[in-house]
A and B are shown apart, each in its own frame.
Chain A
Amino acid sequence: MGDGAASHPAPRYNGEDRISALPNDLLGDIITRLPFMDAARTAAFASHWRQIWRSTPLVLRDADAHLSEATHVATVARALADHPGPFHTVSLFGCRAASLDLELPEWPRLLTTKRIENLCFHNKQTQLQTTLSPLPADILCCGSLQSLSLAFWKIPDDLLLAANAFPNLRKLGLVRNDMSDQYIHRLLVSSPILEYLGLVLNGKPERVHVCSQSLRCLFLGLSKVEEFTVVDTPLLERIMFFKPPYGGTDCVRFRIASAPKLRVIGYLEPRIHKLQIGGSIIKPDTMASPGTVVPGVEVLALKVNFGVFWEVKMLASFLRCFPNVGTLHIESVQPDPSVAAHEPTGEHHARFWKEASPVESLRLHIRSLFIHKFQGDQNEFEFLKYVALNARELRALLVVSPDKKIALALADEVNEMANKLDRPLFQPWTARGLLESPRVRNVLISAKVPFLGVRDPFRW
């Protein structure tokens, strides 16, 4: 039924061939949703199909194709060589650069000449001690790139990088590369319209600073990083921390020097983040002052171990740094049973909250409070009581749990607590139970960046 097809009668088929009649661009759309080998095979359906794959910008994701280990790299190499371009997306998680070099030595140049738009090359690591492959200079000449994610590369300081190397780059991900803070900075400078930056760092570099006139979202999985400073980011709206896929989360001094448009930040953890705003390190007794607040933040997420009194005090301190928060997420971290049991009791907590100096966001701004993974123990409830008594604007308290029954039961407890208070609530509200789902969990991350998967933190 396709145009120009041989007009033999087709007695085998008694239906219309609707698919071949679709416009080629829709056929291309459909094909590029297939694993790339399936997509290439469509050439054999009929003469109408012969050129569809080749004339649609290439989408190659090796993680989606069922490639055997033995032929993985060779097949990828053939596809890259065969497809005339342009390249829309090439995403490689199962290849090591050294192997690809053998199969297709010109692959870096190919990416440039075929005007690749989205490149993700995470060198496959078989052992953590493997020496890292050096990044080919040609990658830094792909001016067509709109998104780039690199993992496990060696990027030396003398690798050539043009001043305007990435005029179209909007998303950049750097995962455990051997590179200096200086080079990260140069990449940012070479990317004048960069909006999303993701960094997964494991001790290298030890100190990082971020400076970008265009950056809007920052995603950080930091491990063994001493200090991280947001220096000058006039458009930055969101900072999102997540647990890096490799390594643990160690303390990091996190400095916010200038981020006037910052609106969303989470999950901050007092245990891990030594927060510094401007020149002031936030401590349990830090009182709010113009130099220690980030007034634009409206959505805040914190992880707190309510079993550690110090963390509860830091919770209050952190909250004071963000006086205009309207939506607050608090995740309760499981107390570690091995931690010394001489932590203060619930009475202590009650007194602390009673005597705590005002927390402006709680008093005046918070409208929605999400509590995640709460166990319903006394320390948590002392905090919730404080909220119930002080939050003038609170309209919704949402209890989130992976178990719906627990969520509902806890919500009931909260409501009971609220009803028993000596003073009436400022606003009538009812706690509701919500089943945890990726959507609720990612409510901070409303950009389309599915980070929390371990395998591919930057899949896009």
Chain B
Amino acid sequence: MAATPADASSSSSEAVVGGEKSNKMITLISSDGESFEATEEAAKMSVTIKHMIEDGCADDGIPLPNVPAKILSMVIEYCNKHAADADDTNKHVADPADADEDDDNNNNNASAGEKEDLKSFDASLVAVDQATLFDIILAANFLSIKGLLDLACQKVADDIKDKSVEEVREIFKIENDFTKEEEEAVRKENAWAFNE
């Protein structure tokens, strides 16, 4: 039951650019056997799934053996939110030729309120424990959802930035398997990076 973009103020500001949105629901099956439903539109944010749909392999549900239920539900939440946003915006801007290439499958023309909403949604989606964050990265990578992969990788990068080597090792539980000589050699190799 995909809704047509509901208008807050009934008849006004009708969008141009119809584009039929398929009402079709797609079933996605997690690695632990749970089934999830998503609109075709949201599901197609995953390039992997998009190809499967187009190849006609989606009719009986799409098994995703790499993605556990907990992560799949978060992924679907992301796709729902971002697919809805990309759709909503044509309410405001009747620019029919606004089909830009590029990976900007995020918000194009959301009004400010919606944009803030999306940003805080994204931020809270990746404000999770490490294990979950890495699961999201792997799932987004496997499913080819660029926006989500960017979001999650950026979060990890933000956690590494401006920290010392020791601090990062501690945060991510990286075992230092260098011998003392090896570590010195590495630091010397990249001396310019270690001098402040």
A binds B: yes
Q: Which chain A residue lies CB-closest to B116? A: A437
Say yes or no: A298 contacts B97, CB within 8 Å: yes
* Cβ-closest chain B residue relative to A19: B172
Say whether B175 contacts A46, CB under 8 Å.
yes
Give chain A residues whose Cβ lies under 8 Å from the Cβ of B156. Answer: 19, 30
Contacts of B131-180 to chain A: CB distance below 8 A? 131, 134, 137-138, 141, 149, 153-154, 156-157, 160-162, 165, 168-170, 172-178
Please tell me if the beta carbons of B109 and A435 are within 8 angstroms of each other in the complex: no
A136 CB-CB contact with B under 8 Å: no
Q: Are B169 and A45 in contact (CB under 8 A)?
A: yes
Pair B169/A46 contact, Cβ less than 8 Å: yes
Would B115 and A15 count as touching, CB distance under 8 A? no
A434 near B92: Cβ-Cβ < 8 Å: yes
Instruction: Name which of B36-44, B49-57, B183-191 contacts chain A.
Output: B183-191
Which of B96, B115, B177, B183 has the most C-beta atoms of chain A within 10 angstroms of its own C-beta? Answer: B177
- Smallest CB–CB gap between A443 and chain B, Å? 5
Name the B residues within 8 Å of A71 (CB-CB).
195
> A16-B131, A446-B100 are contacts. A298–B95 as well, Cβ < 8 Å?
yes
Does the CB pair A30–B96 fall under 8 Å? no
Check A122 for interface membership: any CB of B closer than 8 A: no
* A439–B175 CB distance below 8 A: no
- Tell me, rounded to whole Å, the shortest Cβ–Cβ distance linking B46 to chain A: 17
Mark contacts of B5-16 with chain A using CB atoms, 8 A cut-off: 1 yes-contact digit, 0 otherwise.
000010111101
**Given that A43-B186, A263-B97, A440-B112 are known contacts, is A428 also in contact with B195, CB under 8 Å in the complex?**
no
Determine whether A384 belongs to the interface, using a CB cutoff of 8 Å to chain B: no
A29-B153 contact given A79-B193, A443-B93, CB 8 Å threshold: yes
Asked if A345 CB lies within 8 Å of chain B CBs, one says: no
Whether A18 contacts B130 by the Cβ 8 Å rule is yes
Q: State the Cβ distance, B122 to closest chain A Cβ, in Å.
A: 15
Contacts of A264 in B (CB 8 A): 95, 97
Residues on B with C-beta less than 8 A from A428 are 11-12
| CB-based contact A396/B94 at 8 Å | yes
Given contacts A396-B92, A429-B12, A435-B113, contact A6 B177 (CB under 8 A): yes
B interface vs A, CB < 8 Å?
Answer: 9, 11-14, 16, 92-98, 100, 102, 104, 107-113, 115, 130-131, 134, 137-138, 141, 149, 153-154, 156-157, 160-162, 165, 168-170, 172-178, 182-183, 186-187, 189-190, 192-196
Q: Which residues of A come within 8 Å of B, CB atoms?
A: 1, 5-6, 8, 10, 13-23, 26, 29-31, 33-35, 37-38, 40-47, 49-50, 68, 71, 74-75, 78-79, 82, 237, 263-264, 298-299, 326-327, 367-368, 395-396, 398, 428-430, 432, 434-437, 439-440, 443, 446-448
Q: Which 9 pairs between the two chains have the least Cβ-Cβ distance? A: A78-B192, A33-B157, A40-B193, A396-B13, A437-B112, A15-B173, A435-B112, A6-B177, A18-B134
